Amino acid sequence: MAADRSMRDYRLGAPHGPNSSGRRIAFADLDGMSYHEASAFDLPIAKRIRFVNKVNNAEAKKELKSIGRMMKADPLSPVGYYVRNMVIPGMGLLLEGYVLFSVGNVTPLLEAAFPQCWGEQTVCQPVWQQAMTYLEVVGIILGQIIVGILGDWLGRRWGLIQDALIMFIGLVMLTACWGITLNGWVICYALSLLFYGIGVGGEYPMTATSDMGNAVGFGKMSSREDRLHRGRRVTSAFLMQGWGQFLNQVILILLLLIFNSGSGDPPYDKVLAQCVFRVSFAIPAVGTLWLAYYRIYRMKSASTLLQAAKKKQSVTGYDIKSLGLTFTYFGPRLIATAFGWFANDVFFYGNKLFQSQFMAALNPDNKSVMTNWLWNLVNTGVALVGYYLASFCIDNKLYGRKWMQIIGFLGCFICFIIPAFNYSYYAEGPGIRSFQAMYFLSSFFGQFGPNAVTFLVAAEVFPTPVRASAHGFSAACGKLGALLAAVLFNYIDSRMRFLVVPWFGLLGGIVTYLFLPDTTGLDLKEQERRWTYIRAGREQEYHGIAIHSKHLSFWERIRGVSKHYNAEEDYKQRVEEMRADWESAMERRAAEGELAGDFGDKDDTWSPEVSKFFERTRDKTGGAAKGPYRNGAGASGESIDEVKEE
């Protein structure tokens, strides 16, 4: 039963410190409980390390046993589980990662086959060649902002479906793009990328927020599984972007061998280039059409959590009030997520734009597209290792989101700043192998750091009603960083690029430390509970774990946001909120003869232990015991506006 499951972890040990047993009934012995159960965060560092390692080891053992049982029943069942829970949720990001990086990967082949357009520029206008990069990024920015807003307004499911349909149409346009002249074909190519980019941009906020909703689920509290592994679940979908890049490079290599008679070496004629180009875009079009089908017919509940949040606040359409309050209370968080993404994309796309200089340094006389593609395949494989390590470590309370992003930024900073001050030695002299190692390490730290974390925290640190909007805005700022890199690099040489880019990593680390809270292990239902108080103008009455200093940014701690944190008061308050919910549920049961059937009442199946406790502790007049709620308005009621101080 949903209410019972949440109640078992409801005592002071959770969320203030995880109830590892999962067996405790919170209200069975309220009067005898101790209010001094230690929070995991409040333990001395040595005890905290032992506690966290004990929980992590127990979870690892539990998961390995689960995998063993699955394999015993069906050896392929773990693969099916992975596909259902990680691959399919991230399929949109896999497809967009494939296509976006295909644009850059296929360019060397087009340059070799059409030198009069890309090299000599006697046929094609340079402005349209540059526009291919710019319009792609502009389309992504438009999609991130527009679809992010519409996703909070109309629902996540609508955003997911329209993203898949736009991407499918865009891929058809890319596959079939045509022009009377070569310059006309380039123009058609650029405009197709603009249209496709809108779908890609919407994919970021929609995938993150829908995965976040799936991870959090229903209930007064998220399940223990969600609290311990929410980050891994979301980033496991995000890392499909890395697989998209990897698969694109593999497919391009195979297509080149197929259409070039088994050879990857030049010369490359126009027919070869056109065949590789069109088939490489036709393949993901099939997958995107399936994705549209899946989202239309198999993801009908994607908007449920958002609808429930709106119902509680009696909101229809877009929640303008929540948007304004987000800027007021969470403005510094928006600075952290937006600038963090901006700085990351300067590095992320800078790494891709440096690729030609890197390849030239390794193979100065190389004319083969295949050689460059093989080196890029290695680089993408290194990045995939970073993606997976990020997914495995992002929920560890000793490391977590914030430190992963800071260390990732600093790692990229070091990898770029070292060759910046001795570029000739590393890029052209005896330090070439060190240059190669630092290039690969920058790819690793980019994924095992800000690239994975920015995607996750931009959804976690904001309330549900504006989550997609905030995520879309942050992602759009990131693409401005990519656009800055693309434009700036056209006007400065390779040496100057290495002098400019590293400082974005240092600034990203500083901004992260100052303004980004650490949501590792935080129950997002607690954050929603805090948001309900904020929205009602009663922020100071909230005493829960969401304002514990460990879940606040350095800036928020300086401002004194944690001063109202009080585990004992929060426990008493939560009991009364539960009591009000129970009273309301009992009234509905008496009036209607059965529980309401919509999603807002999935928690109304109360366990016998909980019902007995509330029956036993009613006051003599039969009403609810003294508490902060009146008139049956509880934590899952329509509004918190009835909260009064006793």
> Could you tell me what percentage of the chain is helix, strand and coil, using 3-state DSSP and rounding each to the nearest 5?
75, 0, 25
Give the CA count within 13 Å in the CB-facing half-sphere of 142: 14
pLDDT band at 494 (very low <50, low <70, confident <90, very high): confident
Q: So what's the pLDDT on residue 70?
A: 93
Name the band, by pLDDT with cuts 50, 70 and 90, for residue 610. Answer: confident
Is residue 300 a part of any domain in this protein? Answer: yes
pLDDT greater than 80 at residue 28:
no
pLDDT band at residue 11 using 50, 70 and 90 as cut-offs: very low
Q: Calculate mean pLDDT across residues 392-410.
A: 93
Residue 310 confidence (pLDDT): 66
Size of the chain in residues? 646
Residue 73: predicted pLDDT = 92
Of 52-56, 110-114, 329-333, 488-492, the one with minimum mean pLDDT is: 488-492
Quick one: residue 566, left, alpha or beta (phi over 0 = left, psi -120 to 50 = alpha)? beta
pLDDT at 444: 93
Residue 620 within a domain: no
Residue 606: the pLDDT is 67
In a domain? residue 544: no
Q: How far apart are CA 154 and CA 100, in angstroms?
A: 27
pLDDT band at 638 (very low <50, low <70, confident <90, very high): very low
Q: What is the pLDDT of residue 611?
A: 77
pLDDT at residue 21, as a whole number: 41
In a domain, 209, yes or no: yes
Residue 313's pLDDT is: 66
Q: Does residue 14 carry a pLDDT above 80? A: no
- Decide if 233 is inside a domain: yes
- Does residue 440 sit within a domain? yes
- Residue 426 pLDDT: 86
- Mean pLDDT over 157-174 rounds to 92
State yes or no: pLDDT of 408 exceeds 90: yes
Distance, in Å, from the CA atom of 154 to the CA atom of 438, rounded to the nearest integer, reads 45
pLDDT at 424 > cutoff 50: yes
Q: Is the pLDDT of residue 360 over 80?
A: no
Contact call for residues 549 and 557 (beta carbons, < 8 A): yes
365: which residues sit within 8 A by CB, 6+ positions away? none
- What tens digit of pLDDT does each residue of 557-586 get? 999 999 999 988 998 888 888 888 888 878
The pLDDT of residue 453 = 95
Q: Cβ-count burial of 262 within 10 angstroms (0-12 exposed, 13-18 middle, 19+ buried)?
A: exposed
Is the predicted pLDDT of residue 403 greater than 50, yes or no?
A: yes
Q: Tell me the average pLDDT across 398-422.
A: 93
pLDDT-derived band of residue 314, with 50, 70 and 90 as boundaries?
Answer: low
Structure tokens belonging to residue 337? 């997520």
Residue whose token pair is 């007049």: 621
Domain span at 425: 82-216+223-515
Q: What pTM did the predictor assign?
A: 0.82
Q: Which of 280-284, 482-486, 527-531 has the weakest average pLDDT?
A: 482-486
**pLDDT > 90? residue 344:** yes
Overall number of domains in the chain: 1
Q: Is residue 417 part of a domain?
A: yes
Note the pLDDT of residue 89: 87
Q: What rounded mean pLDDT belongs to the chain? A: 81
Question: Is pLDDT of 337 > 50?
Answer: yes
Predicted confidence (pLDDT) per residue in 197-254, tens digit: 999 998 888 887 776 665 455 455 556 777 788 899 889 989 999 999 999 999 999 9
Q: Which of 618, 541, 534 shows the shortest CA–CA distance to 582?
A: 618
Q: Residue 490: is its pLDDT beyond 90?
A: no
Better-predicted residue by pLDDT, 591 or 476: 476
CA 349 to chain centre: 18
User: Domain for residue 447, yes or no?
Assistant: yes
**CATH code at position 386:** 1.20.1250.20
Range scoring the smallest mean pLDDT among 114-123, 175-184, 327-336 = 114-123
